Chains A and B, each alone.
Chain A
Amino acid sequence: MDLLEYQGKQLFARHDIPVPTGAPATTVADAVAAADEVGYPCVVKAQVLIGGRGKAGGIKLAKDRHEAEDAANAILGMDIRGFTVHEVWVEAASDIAAELYASIVFDRSARKPLVMLSTHGGMDIEEVAETEPEAIATLHVDPLLGFQDFHARRLAFDAGVDADVVRPIGALLSRLYTAFVAEEAMLVEVNPLIITGDRQVRALDAKVTLDDNSLFRHPDNAALRNPSAEDPQEQMAKERGLTYVKLDGNIGILGNGAGLVMSTLDVVALAGGKPANFLDAGGGSQADEVTSAVEVILANPAVTAVLFNIFGGITRCDEVARGLIQAFASVKPTVPFVVRLDGTNDVEGRELLAEAALPNVHVEATMDAAAAKVVELAA
């Protein structure tokens, strides 16, 4: 789960990480009121889950109330690389003397949190890593020992930060690590981390990704969901407890098991088709869940054909067939379906489909044949 910048900053503030004061707003009037509250000059920042906001005109400085109103007017409703701006964050402008970069990532390969610090802040860190890797100080932390003060000093000296701010930057890194562990984050990133004219350190941006699997322990974070930024079908699927990812093609896909569904997308693509979604109906699907999944797939207007690819283990093919028959009774699809059932109770499943004689449902024996058929029908 990715947080918006201001949600990240509020999370940082709970862990005593210094951030500029500010307030969120969803209307121009609220934005102006927020600007009055934080004082001028202030910055109006688009809150969307995509990078490159500054370049797209989504971050504007306002010297007075009039400029704050203009900025909020321009930014609210703006489209930034496909994301509509529904919310802005208005914060006090900062006096920036230097821009640094700090982050902690969940390094799955090393099986340790990786802390990074660089004096090359305010730019794309992947680019810095490529052109000047020595400019990024890195350190892996033993998760059972935690982040120690000497770790912070080592990173600060390795990165070459000015001697007078080694202590405050070290303190900020410590708190960032505390937040990373306490909130069960997969990523916390501050870019830029600034040093102000009067030598204060402050997180000027916040990028936070939380572990979805830990949200049951963090009800406040779980409530931060940002439905306006989510795709409508993805939102619908989430409400129904389905694992669904929207893609940009026209062939709806349903399978059981994440690996098999990924593989199905690939086989369809190899056959020349474009998948419209990833949908894992999971292990042991019952008929009702299959019906519910069909509704989600067909809610995407781009879908012109649907492929069911089931290899039954715990999932029984006859249950899947019942779900499909039930879906045809309730949803009455107008697009063709291709169904491949293999594994547990596959014969029973195919018999049920044959008896039901659903309109425009084609049964294929193998995954490859089913993919070829659905590509043909979707065209």
Chain B
Amino acid sequence: MSILIDKDTKLVVSGITGREGTFHALNNRRYGTQVVGGVTPGKGGQDVEGIPVFNTFEDAVRDTGANTAMIFVPPRFAADSILEAADAGITTIIAITEGIPAHDELRVATHLARTPGLRLIGPNCPGVLSPGKANVGIIPASFFKEGNVGVVSRSGTLTYQIGNELAQSGFGNSSIVGIGGDPIPGTTFIDVLHLFQEDPETELIVLSGEIGGDAEERAAEFIEANVTKPVVAYIAGFSAPPGKTMGHAGAIISGSQGTAAAKAEALEAKGVKVGRTPTEVARLAVEILGG
């Protein structure tokens, strides 16, 4: 098992004719993901190495039966593309685009929250990888193999770092989910924790958080009440000064809110082991699983 994406995923890529869109769509297909189409307004009828391109998501869904979308268009078009995918009946939307205006994200999140059964992952995320089944996004799949550790993270490369250390200790992953570094993620830690808790293959969950907002504190509450599987956490940004955006739009300490120390404390208070370095996270995971 895996979560969010698997062998039944039928992917449409918005922005498939762009340089990055083409590169990653083909990369995802090479991994085994069913990439059934792309959307670029005005380029309907063309194809990208055999992948049909449509003018609208509506056309793409009607002709291919797609259930998943990957958004790869520039920030100024991204919110519109997400809404278009949702309107066309896509149920899992994975938005890679970084730099979407916050007010756009707010309107999108509010609208999508009113559409039951619909899930947005990201924006500003590396996507989702279910090793051995499907890869949607930019996660370098070669570092990961099938296994029993579920990973959910606000960061991309940090996830690769932790995942790679786990792999070196002999562990693989059920799914790796990048929820993204923006202030209003479509999918939260809690949503993914719930999915991993329900997923029979996942035996341990690694949660990688960072400064800004209160998603980790909320996750701690949720873990105490709802998660019986062991969780190991990591928080980045202990050295970050207040009031500065640390790369990700959502990674900012506002006043005294959103510090790494407060997040680590909140998690530890609920019995979650928090590693101080990525290496320690891998070590804790191995300890729990009995490497």
A residues lining the B interface (CB < 8 Å):
106, 108-109, 111-113, 126, 142-144, 181, 184, 186, 211-214, 216-217, 243, 245, 247, 255-263, 265-270, 275, 278, 280, 283, 311-315, 342-344, 366-368
Contacts and interface: CB of A to CB of B under 8 A. Distances in A.
Interface stretch (B28-36, B40-48, B106-114): B106-114
Given A278-B247, A367-B279, A108 B184 contact: yes
A313 B140 contact: yes
A106 B106 contact: yes
Contacts of A266: 236-239, 260, 276-277
A278 B253 CA distance: 15
Contacts of A342: 161, 164
A265 B235 CA distance: 12
| Dominant SS among interface residues on chain B | loop
Contacts of B256: 126
A126 B102 contact: no
B249 A111 contact: no
Given A144-B107, A367-B279, A213 B100 contact: yes
Contacts of A126: 255-256
A257 B236 CA distance: 12
Interface residues of B, number: 61
B119 interface: no
A259 B236 contact: yes
A75 B127 CA distance: 51
Interface of B: 75-76, 99-104, 106-107, 109-111, 113, 126, 138-140, 143, 153-161, 164, 181, 183-184, 208, 210-211, 213-215, 218, 234, 236-241, 244-251, 255-256, 260, 276-279
Given A143-B106, A217-B101, A269 B158 contact: no
Nearest to A244: B247
Contacts of A111: 106, 109-110, 113, 184
B107 A259 contact: no
Q: Which of A126, A312, A343, A366 has the most CB of B within 10 A?
A: A343
Nearest to B106: A143
B201 to A, nearest CB: 24
Contacts of A260: 155, 157-158, 161
Given A106-B102, A256-B157, A257-B158, A343 B140 contact: yes
A213 B75 contact: yes
Contacts of A257: 155-158, 247
Q: Which of B155, B161, B234, B237 has the most CB of A within 10 A?
A: B161
Nearest to B248: A258
B247 A243 contact: yes
B247 A313 contact: no
Given A247-B239, A259-B153, A262-B247, A270 B277 contact: yes
Given A216-B75, A267-B277, A280-B247, 19 more contacts: A108-B213, A112-B106, A126-B255, A213-B100, A214-B101, A214-B103, A245-B245, A247-B239, A256-B157, A257-B156, A257-B158, A259-B181, A262-B158, A263-B234, A263-B277, A266-B236, A312-B140, A313-B140, A315-B157
A211 B102 contact: yes
Contact of B161 (A113, A214, A216, A311): A311
B118 to A, nearest CB: 15
A258 B101 contact: no
Contact of B110 (A142, A181, A312, A314): A142
A112 B102 CA distance: 11
A314 B181 CA distance: 18
Contacts of A247: 239, 241
A109 B216 CA distance: 11
B139 A313 contact: yes
Contacts of B279: 366-368
Nearest to B27: A314
Nearest to A273: B239
Q: Which of A213, A217, A280 has the most CB of B within 10 A?
A: A213
A109 B214 contact: yes
Q: Which of A109, A112, A256, A268 has the most CB of B within 10 A?
A: A109
A263 B103 contact: no
Contacts of A112: 106, 110
A262 B103 contact: no
A70 B236 CA distance: 48
A261 B247 contact: yes
B155 A259 contact: yes
B104 to A, nearest CB: 8
A108 B250 contact: yes
Q: Which of A255, A262, A344, A366 has the most CB of B within 10 A?
A: A262
A259 B244 contact: no
Contacts of B278: 263, 367
Nearest to A259: B155
Given A142-B110, A258-B155, A262-B251, A184 B236 contact: no
